[in-house]
């Protein structure tokens, strides 16, 4: 099995349909934005607007900061999701005209000033969109009287190729164009969300995986200051961004793959989008495996520092934060290969070698883990070691660095595992459905039984309480203490959740001897 959406190469890049504007239409919810009016639909008592334009078509400004949309007359239908950014893995239309967001609200312009939960999708910085069924905000908005927003923005080379050292001054911000899209979307929320029943002064950014990573990156971006008031991440383990020298090496290699010389960025800006997407399959020039990597770049301007190195950014130290991880993170990436569930002790070290980010001896790690967990199988240890040596350390560092500057932070670990395929455990992305309440959505493995419902009610209530007040404590969970050193109190989420000091302490200490940098840095 695989948790990625199926890859479609296309003629894979579909052009976006032009904005449909009707002067009149049947009775339906209508909201007024700064660019014009939009028509939504009622779904299960919630007003839903899909495909609301927050930015202009980016094709004319490829690799440059996005701009606000041109105003329109009449009423634009906001009844279908907008296209996703061009990408390799997708089963939906894509286009460079992709700056659209989606809103779920219990009421329009009713003065209620509800908390706004602004979700940034995962998919590294390469794939995905805000339209996954897992992110449907209907249940969350209805259950907790909040406004939910999901967003599309530029990805991969379109959003994060650093061309500043290869082209003209107009490309200075190219390494963070996707993040600037998110800032434009947050500015749209600030200027418009009150018309959708939300409070522009109470915005929580939250995201899973690459989406969480973008949320923490915004915390180190001066241009984002004041646009959000709380942050919650689900396996968004970025500590470092990409350095400008490595980012330039990747941009140069990408151009070479396309048959261009470093000085020909003007040609790169005019190639068909599908050609750029096809070139993304090239091997990364710096990593040992996988396609070329593009993500946020320390460009000394838009992003002046790493998100959590050498410390937590003090300029966002006042922002309350939830940091979460799942117990079996790497089963999302490595659980699709049946061989990984049938490893022998002889095979295990070699299998570990290419899956660790922290550079430690696989043989040493196997010995330490066998002593820790004498009943575990080679496959059990494979997933435990890769999680602790690849996907877990970044979360710990973020929480530790926040604790060191006295910044408010709460940490959780999801232990409740997949119900429809128990082998998968609590894999990376498994917490999404539990927060959104989309237990029966395509891609969820929670099932809809009493246990999953119980965990959903805990996680969603805590996230909604956090969005409302800046503190996740609520009646649905045990008293959740902030993360402090040296105790490291963590909410371990399960059918019956509990506070645990320093969960998996021995595993953390094994890997603490090696420095961690996000893969690709």
Residue 500: beta bridge partners?
490
Q: Is the pLDDT of residue 127 over 50?
A: yes
What is the rounded distance in angstroms from the CA atom of residue 452 to the CA atom of residue 416?
A: 8
Q: What is the pLDDT of residue 26?
A: 53
Q: Which CA distances in Å does 368 have to 308, 364, 395, 507?
A: 29, 6, 22, 9
Round the average pLDDT of the chain to a whole number and report it: 93
The whole-number average pLDDT for the span 293-301 is 96
Q: Is the pLDDT of residue 12 over 60?
A: no
Q: Is the pLDDT of residue 442 over 60?
A: yes
- Decide if 174 contacts 161 (C-beta within 8 A): yes
Residue-wise pLDDT for 347-375, tens only, equals: 999 999 989 988 999 999 999 999 999 99
Q: Is the pLDDT of residue 152 over 60?
A: yes
CA 298, 394, 476 angle in degrees (round to 5)?
A: 120
What is the rounded distance in angstroms from the CA atom of residue 336 to the CA atom of residue 417?
A: 16
Residue 153 is a catalytic residue = no
Q: What is the pLDDT of residue 248?
A: 97
| Candidate list 85, 161, 174, 209, residue with the active-site label | 209
- Decide if 480 contacts 462 (C-beta within 8 A): yes
Q: What is the pLDDT of residue 195?
A: 97
The whole-number average pLDDT for the span 259-266 is 92
Residue 19's pLDDT band, with cuts at 50, 70 and 90, is very low
Residue-wise pLDDT for 45-70, tens only, equals: 999 999 999 999 999 999 999 999 99
Tokens 């329109």 identify what position? 72
Residue 521's pLDDT band, with cuts at 50, 70 and 90, is confident
What is the rounded distance in angstroms from the CA atom of residue 49 to the CA atom of residue 68?
A: 18
Q: Is the pLDDT of residue 132 over 60?
A: yes
| Candidate list 132, 174, 428, 460, residue with the active-site label | 428
| Candidate list 96, 194, 329, 507, residue with the active-site label | 329
Q: Is the pLDDT of residue 21 over 50?
A: no
- Decide if 427 contacts 2 (C-beta within 8 A): no
What is the rounded distance in angstroms from the CA atom of residue 304 to the CA atom of residue 321?
A: 21
Residue 428 is a catalytic residue = yes
More confident residue, 19 or 400: 400
Residue 209 is a catalytic residue = yes
- Phi/psi of residue 294, nearest 5 degrees: -130, 125
The whole-number average pLDDT for the span 435-443 is 96
- In the chain, pLDDT over 90 holds for what percent of residues? 89
Residue-wise pLDDT for 139-150, tens only, equals: 999 999 999 999
- Asked if residue 310 has a cis previous peptide bond (ω within 30° of 0), the answer is yes
The whole-number average pLDDT for the span 158-182 is 97
Q: What is the pLDDT of residue 468?
A: 98
Q: What is the pLDDT of residue 298?
A: 97
Radius of gyration of the chain (CA): 22
Which domains are assigned to the chain? 21-234 (3.40.50.1820), 326-511 (3.40.50.1820)
């Amino acid at each position: 099995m695989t948790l990625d959406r199926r890859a479609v190469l296309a003629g894979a890049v579909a052009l976006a349909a032009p904005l449909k504007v009707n002067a009149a239409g049947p009775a339906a919810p209508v909201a007024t934005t700064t660019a014009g009016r939009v028509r939504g639909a009622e779904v299960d008592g919630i007003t839903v607007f899909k495909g609301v334009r927050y930015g202009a078509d980016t094709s004319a400004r490829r690799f440059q900061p996005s701009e606000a949309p041109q105003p329109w007359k009449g009423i634009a239908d906001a009844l279908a999701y907008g296209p996703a950014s061009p990408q390799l893995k997708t089963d939906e239309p894509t286009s460079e005209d992709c700056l659209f967001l989606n809103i779920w609200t219990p009421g329009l312009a009713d003065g209620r000033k509800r908390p706004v939960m602004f979700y940034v999708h995962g998919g590294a910085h390469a794939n995905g969109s805000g339209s996954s069924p897992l992110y449907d905000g209907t249940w969350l908005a209805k259950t907790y009287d909040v406004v939910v927003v999901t967003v599309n923005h530029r990805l991969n080379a379109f959003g994060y190729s650093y061309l500043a050292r290869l082209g003209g001054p107009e490309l200075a911000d190219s390494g963070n164009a996707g993040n600037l899209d998110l800032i434009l979307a947050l500015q749209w929320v600030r200027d418009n969300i009150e018309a959708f029943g939300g409070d522009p002064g109470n915005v929580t950014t939250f995201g899973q995986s690459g989406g969480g990573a973008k949320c923490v990156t915004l915390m180190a971006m001066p241009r984002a200051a004041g646009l959000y008031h709380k942050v919650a991440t689900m396996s968004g383990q970025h500590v470092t961004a990409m350095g400008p020298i490595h980012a330039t090496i990747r941009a140069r290699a990408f151009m070479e793959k396309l048959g261009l010389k470093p000085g020909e960025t003007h040609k790169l800006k005019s190639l068909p989008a599908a050609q750029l997407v096809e070139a993304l399959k090239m091997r990364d020039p710096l990593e040992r495996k996988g396609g070329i990597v593009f993500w946020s770049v320390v460009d000394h301007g838009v992003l002046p520092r790493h998100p959590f190195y050498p410390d937590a950014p003090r300029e966002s130290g006042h922002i309350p934060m939830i940091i979460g991880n799942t117990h079996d993170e790497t089963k999302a990436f490595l659980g699709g290969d049946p061989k990984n569930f049938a490893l022998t002790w002889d095979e295990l070290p070699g299998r570990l070698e290419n899956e660790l980010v922290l550079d430690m001896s696989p043989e040493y790690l196997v010995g330490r883990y066998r002593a820790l967990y004498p009943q575990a199988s080679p496959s059990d240890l494979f997933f435990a070691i890769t999680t602790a040596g690849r996907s877990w350390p970044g979360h710990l560092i973020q929480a530790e660095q926040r604790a060191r500057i006295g910044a408010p932070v709460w940490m959780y670990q999801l232990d409740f595992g997949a119900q429809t395929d128990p082998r998968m455990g609590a894999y990376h992305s498994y917490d999404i459905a539990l927060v959104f309440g989309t237990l029966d959505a395509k891609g969820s493995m929670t099932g809809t039984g009493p246990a999953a419902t119980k965990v959903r009610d805990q996680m969603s209530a805590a996230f909604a309480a956090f969005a409302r007040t800046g503190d996740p404590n609520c009646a649905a969970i045990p008293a959740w203490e902030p993360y402090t050193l040296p105790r490291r109190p963590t909410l371990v989420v399960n059918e019956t959740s509990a506070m645990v000091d320093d969960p998996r302490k021995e595993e953390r200490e094994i890997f603490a001897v090696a420095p961690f940098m996000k893969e690709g840095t």
